[in-house]
Amino acid sequence: MVLTRLPTPEPSVFSGDALNFLEWSTSFKALIERRCTNTADKLFYLQKYISGEARSVLEGSFFRNDDEAYDQAWETLNTRYGHPFVIQRAFRDKLNNWPKISSRESIKLRQYSDFLTTCSNALPHVKGLQVLNDCEENKKMLQKLPDWVTSRWNRHVTRQLKQTEDYPSFKEFADFIAQEAEIACNPMTYATAPEKSQSTTGVKTYNAAEGSSKESFGSNPVKCMYCEESHSIHKCQKLLGQPVENKKRFIIDNKLCFGCLRRGHNSKDCKKKATCGICKKYHPTPLHEDRPPAEKTSAHAMQAEEANRSPTQAEENTSSLSCYVNRGGYDCSRALAPRHVITGGDYEPYAIKTDLGWSIVGGTPRVVRSTDVTGLCHRISVKELPPLTPASVIRALESDFKDTNPGEKSISQDDIQFLQTLNGRIHQNIDGHLELPLPFKARPQLPDNKQLALVRLRHLKRKLEKNPKFKDDYVRFMEGIFKDGDAERAENEPEKGNVWYIPHQGVYHPRKPDKIRVVFDCSAKYDGTALNDHLLTGPDLTNGLTGVLCRFRKHPIAIMCDVEKMFHRFHVD
């Protein structure tokens, strides 16, 4: 009765991991294959207990229900995942790809130990794993371990070499690592991540509310650097009562920080700025200055005959700054002339008022509490509108009804330069062909891209060797361009800076698979530049589709033909 209440044992699902194949195949044959007599049932359960890559491998075996299909499926699985070489390769790959374990990662050391034990248990059944007994393989595994484990293993190896003159086996290594992992994971001596150490030599912490400094431990009695009495410099009333210039001179002469009154750094790099005990701002209490509160001011823009301005109101007080600008100002330096300036304390921003409103100028301290600062920024863009004339009004009204010329093409400055270059140097050679120069924007100093061309040539060579038809078509095309005079062999040694090698490649049209076109890649970049980057494109001389269709109906008879090679045939000077 007790056995009938236990869960029904069943094998796990195999997803294609060669490390789990032996375990899965043994459980499947013991729990499924031995109990099933019908081949169709065996194939059904085999399909049920595989997934992922393994299932895709056997997709074609489940269309039949005979013994041959079942045997063929197991033969495929044994070949793909159960071969000893495949299994030992999977074990070794996982060992080689195991990440480095640091000295305080005890849990990861135990995980590595568990896998080494698994390899040790599989060693008698997988012949290829016998290589793990070699000392060179052991050296690779030691590189994954912390230094303290490696040192202990070296002592163990030294003792055994003196006693038996044999290097320890892999099983001994796995047992040794298991013991060290157990010690490292002991709850009493469990290694955790290292904590940041604190210095024990007089670390001071500053009270932001009182502006005082306290010694955390192990320091001498506090002594003021200004009056040499037994109190902190932050509580020195004598320094507080000095004029501002005397305070600055004392701090500069003693090389103190303006943010915390300590030596060794300046206020720009200060990470522990003191808080004033009077105004609660970020500066030491002795540097506090009593300023009268700023008066509330308002300003109104004056209406002048030569200016187009609307009233502008600006309000300023100690806690907020608002600026309401409806319209006004000119895009000129006169609009930025300062009308009123409110200066702040040392190293603080200042406010400047111009005809466009108020602006805050200056930097902010590096260490600022986000809860203590509220920023409000207004962006104003001012430009002068062109005068409105009757001609501009008429032009704007006519623009909605003016017919544009569809055949009109605009011409750029580059196109003008292109035409000027060709008009001055185009001529007819002795063969009757037009000869034109390359339309450079400016004569460039080109780098030597022979290395790039050779790399592309090697790629093309491999492609020609793999595809005989592609090779025959390519050779036939290149022979044709030499025969027709479209290209010639370069005999002279090229001058440095005046040579550019053009890679080429062959392409087929999808509708013309037997006709190859060799394309010369003038846009190939080398050292950040390409030949096309230095050439002018010239004006667009292509006929528009609308004009072509209209001219097609101009005469009673229209003729269509297939042009073999459509490009301008001229020689390059």
Domain ranges for the chain: 2-82, 86-184, 204-287, 297-302+309-372, 420-573
Whole-number Å distance between alpha carbons of 380 and 324: 10
Q: Which residues of the chain have pLDDT under 50?
A: 1-2, 191-219, 294-330
Instruction: Decide: helix, strand or coil at residue 233.
Output: helix
In angstroms, what CA-CA distances link 432 with 429, 440, 570, 572, 573? Answer: 6, 24, 10, 13, 14
Extract the tokens encoding 54.
């393994």
Predicted confidence at residue 475, as pLDDT, reads 92
Q: What is the pLDDT of residue 329?
A: 46
What does residue 261 show for φ and ψ, rounded to 5 degrees? Answer: 60, 40
Mode of pairing for the β-strands spanning 434-436 and 571-572 = parallel
List pLDDT tens digits, range 465-482.
999 999 999 999 999 888
Interatomic CA distance for residues 383 and 387, integer angstroms:
13
- Which residues does 137 contact at the CB level (< 8 Å), separation at least 6? 131, 170
| Contact (Cβ atoms closer than 8 angstroms) between residue 569 and residue 433 | yes
Q: Where are the beta strands (DSSP E) in 165-279?
A: 204-207, 212-215
Q: What angle do CA 259, 263, 266 make, to 5 degrees?
A: 45
pLDDT of residue 298: 43
Residues 194 and 342: their CA atoms lie apart, in Å, by 52
Report the C-alpha gap between 516 and 473 in whole angstroms: 6
Spatial distance between the Cα atoms of 219 and 204, rounded to a whole number of angstroms: 9
The pLDDT tens digits for 160-206 are: 888 888 888 888 888 988 888 888 887 765 544 444 444 433 334 44
Predicted pLDDT of residue 292: 55
Helix, strand, coil percentages for the chain (3-state, nearest 5)? 40, 10, 50
Would the pTM of this model clear 0.75, i.e. be above it?
no
